[in-house]
Amino acid sequence: MIKKLLDKIFRPKHAKLEHHQAATARAPQNQPHKPILRAKSSNTKPRHKSVDFMQHGALCIAHKVHKIDRNLLSNAALKTTEGLHKAGFDAYIVGGAVRDLLLQHTPKDFDVVTDATPEEVNRIFRRSRLIGKRFRLVHVLFGDETIEVSTFRGSHLEADGDSKVSDSGRIIRDNVFGSIVEDALRRDFTANALYYDPASQDVLDFHNGYADIKAGILRMIGKPEIRYAEDPVRMLRAVRLSAKLGLKIDPNTQAPIAKMADLLQDVPASRLFDEMLKLFLSGHAMQSVMALRAQHLHHGLLPMLDVVLEQPMGERFVMLALQNTDSRILSGKSANPSFLFATLLWHEMLAAWEGYKKQGHHAIPALHMAMTEVIATQAEKLAIHNRYSATMKEIWGLQPRFEQRAGKRPFGLLTHPRYRAGYDFLLLRCESGELPMELGAWWTAFAEADGETRAGMLQADTSPKKRRRKPHKKPSSVETV
Ligand code: ATP
Ligand code: MG
């Protein structure tokens, strides 16, 4: 009864957002919308620091409009928001998950945002840990799922907060807490600034993200030039998210990218690596790389792509590899980042290998020198983690062995723990025209054949026989006594 009364007072009929209004609503960029007034849902405890809907003026999109299916939300995310609500805090699912659900995509992960500080969150959840330097966050663990909980961020321009900005405007550290309004303003794209409250099932929309999503637009919040200067990785995010979600980058968001691409040079290599990994494993790697190229973002960022994509054989090989990864991911299979990076760097590797051989080194030592050189050069721009580079070297190291089809060697190769990855890599080399298709077909048949057939498939051993040295006779213990 009381709730109904409150609803009547605070949410007059004309203020309710109907579907077509939400889809077409468009306010001038960064101008708060006319507020939709609503009472806080009465089924949750009064919150510690309540959101003032009258002041922040977000669109409040009701469930009957956005129709996000609650069953598609992760249980861990729901438990996290419930735990925070019970402790008297505000808590929303935010960012990519809300955006993806509205676009009928399956969210990759669920992020929660709250007005509780990281320490408060850490105290509420027994299985949680504080992480991060650049952004202090809490990881809340439920089974094998981890929910990332962040505290509303404030403006990094506030003098008294714990924030740091470089001369070029790049935000280096950023731990200023703020309100939900400030938090929304700090997010990158309008589609990423949607806050879903699992208790009321309302979505709060501060920057017209809902309408942009429905119109298929990816739009930067605020002035794009300033936002890219603050964090150049946003340029890569624009390309990746538009390719992944089929959203068109808004012309104003797009325009400054070409002239600001060089700012990526200042971004720490490990951060670039993480972002590129997301891009390559998005299921839309091929499209993303083509878009990066079209916008000249690949120059300097991926030294291997600069060179490789400019030669037809290299381009064909990389595109095949990306296509292959995309179809694996889209069909629910896993894709190994080491394999992908091994393909991206392969033609660079071939050139370096050739160089060492020309200098007079034997093939195998030359291969090892080339592997070390290529990975070291790459690491300056994109720090490939050691665990990946070790596997990459194994995949590359196996390649010359696939060309040996005589004697016992092919049998040994079949039992190698990296055989499968090495074989897949070989097939790509064949398909790209680098090696005859017949070689790949031979290995396919050899692996499937029975013992007798295999023996019949072997080629004549023409390699010079290694002379076995007679083992030195160990002096017998009797003699030494
Ligand atoms: P994905 O599908 O790859 O997870 P995402 O948008 O969820 O995409 P996350 O890296 O998980 O990407 O980030 C979660 C949210 O944090 C984003 O939706 C956005 O609101 C905000 N965010 C992430 N990176 C930035 C950034 N560089 N600048 C501003 N806001 C960001
Ligand atoms: Mg995400």
Q: Is the pLDDT of residue 465 over 90?
A: no
Which of 159 and 167 is assigned the larger pLDDT?
Answer: 167
Burial class of residue 326, CB neighbours in 10 A (0-12, 13-18, 19+): buried
User: Do 304 and 219 sit in the same domain of this protein?
Assistant: no
Phi, psi of 230 (to 5 degrees): -60, -40
Task: Tell me the pLDDT of the chain averaged across its residues.
Answer: 82
Q: Is the pLDDT of residue 32 over 50?
A: no
Which residues lie closer than 8 Å to 369 by C-beta, 6 or more apart? 352, 356, 361
- Which pLDDT band holds residue 266 (cuts at 50, 70, 90)? confident
Q: Are 165 and 174 in contact (CB under 8 A)?
A: no
198 lines ligand 1 (CB under 6 A): no
Ligand 1 atom closest to the Cα of residue 193 is: 20
CATH classification of the domain holding 122: 3.30.460.10
Task: Report how far apart the first and last C-alpha atoms of the chain are (Å, whole number).
Answer: 104
Which of 170 and 479 is assigned the larger pLDDT?
Answer: 170
pLDDT at position 298? 76
**Cα-atom radius of gyration of the chain, to the nearest Å?**
28
Q: Which tokens in the block code for residue 304? A: 């291997």
Q: Which residues are catalytic?
A: 109, 111, 188
User: Mean pLDDT across the stretch 18-32?
Assistant: 36
Q: Judging by DSSP bridges, how do beta strands 59-61 and 202-205 pair with one another?
A: antiparallel
User: Mean pLDDT across the stretch 276-298?
Assistant: 87
Which of 134 and 286 is assigned the larger pLDDT?
Answer: 286
User: Do 95 and 225 sit in the same domain of this protein?
Assistant: yes
Among candidates 204, 231, 234, 229, which has minimal Cα distance to 219? 234
User: Do 203 and 306 sit in the same domain of this protein?
Assistant: no
Distance 186 CA to ligand 2 centre (A): 16
- Total domains present in the chain: 2
Does residue 473 belong to any structural domain of this protein? no
Ligand 1 atom closest to the Cα of residue 150 is: 16
Does residue 414 belong to any structural domain of this protein? yes
Q: Which tokens in the block code for residue 408? A: 């016992």
Does residue 252 belong to any structural domain of this protein? no
Q: Which ligand number lies closest to the CA of residue 218?
A: 1
User: Please, how many CA atoms are within 13 Å of residue 352, restricted to the half-sphere of its CB?
Assistant: 24
Distance 98 CA to ligand 2 centre (A): 9
pLDDT at position 315? 84
Phi, psi of 259 (to 5 degrees): -85, -10
Residues 440-455: tens digit of each pLDDT: 999 999 999 988 899 8
User: Mean pLDDT across the stretch 393-401?
Assistant: 96
Residues 161-172: tens digit of each pLDDT: 566 666 666 655
Q: Is the pLDDT of residue 350 over 80?
A: yes
Does residue 406 belong to any structural domain of this protein? yes
Which residues constitute the domain of residue 348?
285-454
Question: What's at 111, amino acid-wise?
Answer: D
pLDDT at position 296? 80
pLDDT at position 40? 40
Say how far apart CA 289 and CA 295 lie, in whole Å: 10
CATH classification of the domain holding 436: 1.10.3090.10
User: Do 205 and 291 sit in the same domain of this protein?
Assistant: no
Residue 400 to residues 17, 87, 325, 428: CA-CA distances in angstroms?
65, 62, 23, 15
User: Mean pLDDT across the stretch 37-44?
Assistant: 38
- For the entire predicted model, the pTM comes to 0.78
Best substitution site from 93, 187, 235, 288 to test ligand 1's pocket, by max atoms within 8 Å of Cβ?
187
Angle (CA) 165 178 194, round 5°: 100
Distance 230 CA to ligand 1 centre (A): 15
232 lines ligand 1 (CB under 6 A): no
Say how far apart CA 445 and CA 421 lie, in whole Å: 17
User: Mean pLDDT across the stretch 191-210?
Assistant: 96
Best substitution site from 104, 111, 218 to test ligand 1's pocket, by max atoms within 8 Å of Cβ?
111
pLDDT at position 104? 93
Any idea which residue has 């659900």 for tokens?
Answer: 101
Distance 97 CA to ligand 2 centre (A): 6
Phi, psi of 406 (to 5 degrees): -125, 160
What angle, rounded to 10 degrees, do the helices at 337-358 and 312-330 form? 160
Q: Which residue's CA is the closest to the ligand 1 atom numbered 5?
A: 96
